[in-house]
């Protein structure tokens, strides 16, 4: 059957199993919008800014493990989408972004609303395509989804000129796809895996360090099984939280710049480090020279370029977390060899000692709301079951420290790019993916203003997100650095002229609450969670001077934390 | 690599984004017109070369990659050079061209254009050997290379 490019695109999305597309219309994509209008299989969510579309698609992907899809017009539509594309790229999130383009005969002419979308996005996508002929459209889209979701996931941009969406051709859904230059490895080298298991079993002070790769690769169950079997301590990166139950006694909390004392000390002193789906980011390693200097390192990662990039490793294993962990578990069970129990016992004794510093403890107050307290209450009120998105800043770190994530896909934040404005649209994506679950967006009064326009989208689609604003009247993370490293010169970090968030929420048709008394924190949270159908914007007026601890200052090693 | 529009800019973009340096780069379609072969010359520590290799392999358009310096290999570059050649000078330039096994491919009353192919050092040596004042213009192709013996880069 002959279909127009626009119809093919929409039919393809349906055939690919895409249920939701986040987008914003414009001239170059009008044919596509017309095709969307004429069907009801693919639901289009109208955001209020293209950055919101890409973050929402990203949040949707992170909350489900399925690729998120965004649709934007050419020129400004595409440039507005770039922040969201780069955010997904840094955190390896599977996403397909369809950008409209001016008609092929006008490309390169400085035509109205023309930008070189393929050129602009090239450094922040896994791959991108410009579709020049309608005959190539379906197969290109198939390639885009295939590339986005396999290997190390990432965003793929498909740029579609307007005339291509008007031209007609036959459409058959391409079931299979082969790309000769792209063959991601899945199974790890068995010899290497055996060596790794041997090293693990010989360890006296082992440490498991896992990251976003375990969440992305659906390896959480296997990781939990293996960690329990071995009895080793485990830490997660900011991106890896939830892959291992946050309440488990083997879990030492997050590591890195704002990680726990026990996690960082255990990293520093371990003799065998087992890194799984983590990329040795500089926020994690601190000073590279001092990083795990006593350890032999095993590194499991799907992407060879993540291995030995920042830190030389001893046993590299390229493969998916799932496949490699399966092999490791099988070998461990076959061998029936036990880890070094005696050594492990004294290692745990040491770790318990570090734990006793209670590095996350804070001074409670009944006068002013402590931000940490809000998160502890949120955790209790939602029983640890919410999908929690966050923006970027101090509130993000407190959320990571105080909300004990016990399942993967529940913690959704921008780690690699650190994009303020991510939280609310990402929450929309998560809420659309999980309409009956509680979705909370932990944010700051600074960050929330970066994509505040999406409150309208939330009303239009009835998304009952709970916005938890830790309002410290400061760009708190910036203020903290200025306090520590710039002798308290608070240049431009005070948030003046804040809107009245209660009225603002109300004017968008939502419920607004201002909470100023610590005694009201839990009751207010309960009340908000009870409003199952309403978005509630909670403005918690919090302690302005609170800092995030522990903290590893730039250039320091993991054992050189500032504790209070 | 795939013979696709944009493939070259992905490689060039990768090098500039990650701060690697391209000394020279040549590219042209192969006998299979859907593929191009690129020879790229870069420099760096072992770690950097390892990262460059991995990052290039990650590009979707890169089909296969080989570090020619890992084995014995042949490198060739072509130089076209236009020199002032008048009166008795003409003899001298012709002799030099012969020594370097080059050929004179264009002649005017005032000038010769010479073509020389070989390892880059040979081209350097030829340019060195000429009187600086005689050189009007030079253009070099950049290095292309191939492994010695049976070893080959095939898909
Ligand atoms: C204000 C702020 C403070 C921060 N502080 C900290 C901090 O204290 N601690 C901290 O940890 N982070 C912190 N971060 C986050 C930090 O910047 C990095 O984003 C984060 O550490 C990277 O996490 P990761 O190593 O898990 O890698 P990710 O970015 O999650 O990368 C995943 C890795 O897994 C691999 N992978 C993907 N899929 C698979 C698969 N199926 N199988 C195998 N491998 C796979 C990928 O190739 C990649 O190497 C902070 C960020 C901000 C904004
Ligand atoms: C788009 C963007 N611009 C600037 C920054 C730098 N930055 C990091 S944290 C931060 C402060 C965030 O303030 P707020 O949202 O109020 O959170 P708080 O730290 O106070 O909890 C800033 C400006 C950023 N991460 N993203
Ligand atoms: Mg703030």
Read off the CATH number of the domain in which B120 is found: 3.30.70.1150
Return mean pLDDT, chain B.
95
A328 Cα to the center of ligand 1, angstroms: 23
* In-domain check, residue B149: no
Q: Please report residues of B whose CB lies closer than 8 A to that of A179.
A: 60
Contacts of A493 (CB under 8 A, 6+ apart): A474, A475, A476, A478, A479, A482
Same domain, B90 and B60: no
Pair B78, B54 in one domain: no
A70 lines ligand 2 (CB under 6 A): no
Domain end position, chosen among B48, B65, B82: B65
Angle (CA) A437 A438 A442, round 5° = 145
CA geometry: angle A342, A240, A374, nearest 5 deg: 105
pLDDT at A388: 98
Q: Give the chain B residue nearest A156 (alpha carbons).
A: B60
Q: Helices in A16-108 by DSSP H: which ranges?
A: 30-37, 50-64, 76-90
Question: Which H helix or E strand runs over A121?
Answer: helix A117-121
Cα separation, A460 vs A56, in Å, equals: 15
Structure confidence at residue A426 (pLDDT):
98
Q: Residue B155 falls within a domain, yes or no?
A: no
Probe residue for ligand 1, chosen from A189, A212, A422 as the CB with the greatest number of ligand atoms within 8 Å = A212
| pLDDT band of B130, cuts 50, 70, 90 | very high
Using CB atoms, pick whichever of A122, A182, A303 lies closest to residue B10: A122
Helix/strand/coil percent split, chain A, to 5: 40, 20, 40
CB-based contact (8 Å) between B57 and chain A? yes
A-contacting residues of B 63-102, CB under 8 Å?
63-64
Mean pLDDT by 10 residues, chain A (564 residues): 96 98 98 98 98 98 98 98 98 98 97 97 98 98 98 98 98 96 95 97 98 97 98 98 98 98 98 98 94 96 95 97 98 89 97 97 97 98 98 98 97 98 98 98 98 98 98 98 96 96 98 98 98 98 97 93 90
- Which of the ligands is closest to the CA of residue A419? 2
- pLDDT value at residue A43: 98
**Ligand 3 centre and the CA of A559: distance in Å?**
29
Say if residue B54 is in the same domain as residue B107.
Answer: no
Nearest CB among B6, B13, B61 relative to A181 is that of: B61
**Do B79 and B135 fall into the same domain?**
yes
Residue B152 lies in a domain: no
The predicted structure's pLDDT at residue A102: 98
Strand (E) or helix (H) holding A388: strand A387-390
pLDDT (0 to 100) of residue A337 = 81
* A482 φ/ψ angles, rounded to the nearest 5 degrees: -65, -35
Question: Does any CB of chain B come closer than 8 Å to the CB of residue A183?
Answer: no
Instruction: Give the CA-trace dihedral at A485, A261, A297, A348, to 10 degrees.
Output: 170
User: Domain for residue B19, yes or no?
Assistant: yes
Give yes or no: residues B43 and B24 share one domain.
Answer: yes
- Nearest CA to A5 among A97, A140, A179? A140
Calculate the CA dihedral of residues B94, B95, B101, B102 and round it to 10 degrees.
Answer: -20
CA distance A516 to B73: 74
Domain encompassing residue B14:
7-65
For residue B97, the model assigns a pLDDT of 97
Neighboring chain A residues of B50 at a CB cutoff of 8 Å: 308
Whether residues B50 and A119 touch (CB distance < 8 A) is answered with: no
Q: Decide: A552 and A561 in contact? Cβ < 8 Å.
A: yes
Q: Return the SS3 of A508.
A: coil
* B45 and B82 fall within a common domain: no
Alpha carbon of A450 to ligand 2 centroid (Å): 10
Count up the domains in chain B and report the number.
2
Rounded Cα–Cα distance for residues A150 and A142 (Å): 12
Between CA A355 and CA A347 the distance in angstroms is: 12
Residue A69 β-bridge partners: A96
Assess if residue B150 is contained within a domain.
no
How far apart CA A370 and CA B47 sit, in angstroms, is: 46
Does residue B126 fall inside a structural domain? yes
Q: Which candidate, A29, A46, A78, A4, places its Cα nearest to that of A425?
A: A46
Q: What 3-state DSSP class applies to A511? A: strand
Q: Tokens 């830190």: give the residue.
A: A311
Of the three residues B49, B65, B81, the one that is the final residue of a domain is: B65
Tokens in use for A555? 């250039």
Q: CA A487, A370, A464 angle in degrees (round to 5)?
A: 120
Task: List active site positions of A.
Answer: 50, 112-113, 162, 477
A50 in Cβ contact with A57 (< 8 Å) = no
**Residue B56 sits in a domain of what CATH number?**
3.30.70.260
Say yes or no: B84 and B124 in one domain: yes
Same domain, B53 and B86: no
User: Which tens digits make up the pLDDT trace of B44-79?
Assistant: 999 999 999 999 999 999 999 999 999 999 999 999
Check CB contact under 8 Å for B13 and A303. no
B47 and B108 co-located in one domain: no
Q: Record the tokens describing residue A145, joined without a space.
A: 């989804």
Q: Is A497 on the interface with B (CB under 8 A)?
A: no
Question: What phi, psi does A370 have (nearest 5°)?
Answer: -85, 130
Q: Is residue B29 in some structural domain?
A: yes
Instruction: List the Cα angle A394/A397/A402 in 5-degree steps.
Output: 120
Distance to chain B for A190, nearest Cα, Å: 21
Contacts of B10 in chain A (CB under 8 A): 122
Quick one: which of A351, A352, A374, A354 has its CA closest to A362?
A374
Distance CA A126, CA A65 (A): 17
- Both B107 and B89 in one domain: the answer is yes
Q: Residue A398 CA: which ligand 2 atom is closest?
A: 21
Neighbours of B90 (CB within 10 A): 18
Q: How far is A311 from chain B (nearest CA, A)?
A: 10
Cβ pair A340, A201 in contact under 8 A: yes
Q: What residues does ligand 1 touch, defined as CB less than 6 Å away?
A: A 91-92, 152, 211-213, 216-217, 237-240, 254-259, 277-279, 281, 283-284, 301-303, 306, 320-321, 392, 396-397, 415-416, 418, 477
B135 and B82 assigned to the same domain: yes
Mean pLDDT calculated for residue range B109-136: 96
Tell whether B19 and B50 lie within a shared domain.
Answer: yes
Mutate to test the pocket of ligand 1, among A220, A242, A415, A420 (most ligand atoms within 8 A of CB): A415
A333 burial (CB, 10 Å; 0-12 / 13-18 / 19+) is exposed
pLDDT-derived band at B152 (thresholds 50, 70, 90) equals confident
Which of A84, A86, A392, A548 gets mutated to test ligand 2 (max ligand atoms within 8 A of its CB)?
A: A392
Task: Tell me, yes or no, whether B26 lies in a domain.
Answer: yes
- Token representation of residue A391: 């923006």
Calculate how far, in angstroms, residue A281's C-alpha sits from the geometric centre of ligand 1: 7
pLDDT score recorded for residue A361? 96
- Chain A closest CA to B109's CA: distance in Å? 44
Please name the residue whose Cα sits nearest to atom 11 of ligand 2.
A475
pLDDT class of B11 with cuts at 50, 70, 90: very high
Q: Which two tokens stand for residue A314?
A: 């001893």
Q: Are A433 and A439 in contact (CB under 8 A)?
A: no
Q: Is the preceding omega at residue A550 within 30 degrees of 0, hence cis?
A: yes
Name the closest residue on chain A to residue B15, using Cα atoms. Answer: A123
ipTM above 0.90, yes or no: yes
CB burial of residue A366 (10 Å; 0-12, 13-18, 19+): exposed
pLDDT of residue B151: 86
Instruction: Tell which residue, A253, A266, A281, has the closest CA to residue A203.
Output: A266
Of B47, B65, B83, the last residue of a domain is B65
Report the 10 Å Cβ neighbour count for A467.
Answer: 28
CA A126/CA B41 separation, integer angstroms: 25
User: Rounded to whole angstroms, how far apart are CA atoms A250 and A235?
Assistant: 9
């Amino acid at each position: 059957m002959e279909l127009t490019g626009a119809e093919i695109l929409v039919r393809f999305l349906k055939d690919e199993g895409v249920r939701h597309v986040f987008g914003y219309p414009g001239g170059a994509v009008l044919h596509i919008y017309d095709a969307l209008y004429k069907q009801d299989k693919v639901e289009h969510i109208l955001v209020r800014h293209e950055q919101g579309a890409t973050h929402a698609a990203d949040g949707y992907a992170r909350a489900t493990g399925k690729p998120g899809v965004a649709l934007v017009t050419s020129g400004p539509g595409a440039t507005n989408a770039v922040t969201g594309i780069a955010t997904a790229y840094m955190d390896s999130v599977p996403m397909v972004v369809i950008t409209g383009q001016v008609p092929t005969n006008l490309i390169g002419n400085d035509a109205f609303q023309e930008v070189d979308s393929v050129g602009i996005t090239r450094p922040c996508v896994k791959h991108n395509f410009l579709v020049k002929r309608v005959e190539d459209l379906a197969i290109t889209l198939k390639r885009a989804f295939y590339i986005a979701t396999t290997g190390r996931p990432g965003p793929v941009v498909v740029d579609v000129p307007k005339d291509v969406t008007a031209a007609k051709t036959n459409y058959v859904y391409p079931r299979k796809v082969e790309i000769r230059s792209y063959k991601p490895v899945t199974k790890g080298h068995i010899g290497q895996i055996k060596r790794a298991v041997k090293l693990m079993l010989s360890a006296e002070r082992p440490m498991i360090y896992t990251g976003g790769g375990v969440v992305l690769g659906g390896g959480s169950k296997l990781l939990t099984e293996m960690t329990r079997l071995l009895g080793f301590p485990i830490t997660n990166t900011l991106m890896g939280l939830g892959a291992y139950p946050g309440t488990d006694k083997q879990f030492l909390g997050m590591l890195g710049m704002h990680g726990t004392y026990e996690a960082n000390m255990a990293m520093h002193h371990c003799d065998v480090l087992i890194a799984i789906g983590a990329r040795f980011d500089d926020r994690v390693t601190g000073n590279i020279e001092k990083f795990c200097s006593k350890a032999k390192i095993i590194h499991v990662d799907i992407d060879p370029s993540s291995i030995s990039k920042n830190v030389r490793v001893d046993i590299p294993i390229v493969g998916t977390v799932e496949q490699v962990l399966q092999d490791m578990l099988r070998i461990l069970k076959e061998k029936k060899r036990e880890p070094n129990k005696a050594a492990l016992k004294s290692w745990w004794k040491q770790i318990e000692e570090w734990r006793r510093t209670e590095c996350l403890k804070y001074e409670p107050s009944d006068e002013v709301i402590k931000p940490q307290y809000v998160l502890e209450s949120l955790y209790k009120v939602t029983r640890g079951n919410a999908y929690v998105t966050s923006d970027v800043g101090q509130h993000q770190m407190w959320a990571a420290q105080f909300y004990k994530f016990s399942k993967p896909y529940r913690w959704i934040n921008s780690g690699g790019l650190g994009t303020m404005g991510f939280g609310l649209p990402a929450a929309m994506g998560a809420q659309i993916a999980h309409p009956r679950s509680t979705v909370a967006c932990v944010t700051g009064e600074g960050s929330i203003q970066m994509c505040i326009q999406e409150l309208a989208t939330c009303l239009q689609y009835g998304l009952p997100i709970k916005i938890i604003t830790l309002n410290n009247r400061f760009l708190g993370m910036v203020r903290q650095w200025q306090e520590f490293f710039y002798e308290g010169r608070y240049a431009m970090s005070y948030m003046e002229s804040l809107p009245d968030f209660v009225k603002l929420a109300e004017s968008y048709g939502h419920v607004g609450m201002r909470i100023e008394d610590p005694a009201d924190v839990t009751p207010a949270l309960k009340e908000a969670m009870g409003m199952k159908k309403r978005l509630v914007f909670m403005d918690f007026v919090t302690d302005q001077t609170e800092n995030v601890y522990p903290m590893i200052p730039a250039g320091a090693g993991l054992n050189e934390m500032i504790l209070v | 690599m795939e013979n696709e529009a944009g493939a070259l800019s992905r490689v060039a973009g990768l090098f500039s984004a990650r701060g690697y340096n391209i000394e020279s780069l040549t590219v042209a379609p192969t006998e299979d017109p859907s593929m191009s072969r690129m020879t790229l010359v870069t420099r760096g520590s072992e770690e950097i070369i390892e990262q460059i290799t991995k990052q290039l392999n990650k590009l979707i358009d890169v089909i296969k990659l080989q570090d020619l310096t890992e084995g014995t290999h042949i490198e060739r570059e072509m130089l076209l050079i236009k020199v002032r050649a008048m009166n008795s000078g003409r003899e001298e330039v012709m002799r030099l061209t012969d020594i370097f096994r080059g050929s004179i491919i264009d002649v005017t009353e005032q000038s010769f254009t010479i073509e020389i192919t070989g390892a880059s050092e040979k081209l350097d040596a030829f340019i060195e050997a000429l009187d600086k004042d005689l050189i009007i213009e030079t253009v070099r192709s950049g290095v292309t290379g191939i492994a010695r013996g049976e070893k080959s880069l095939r898909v």
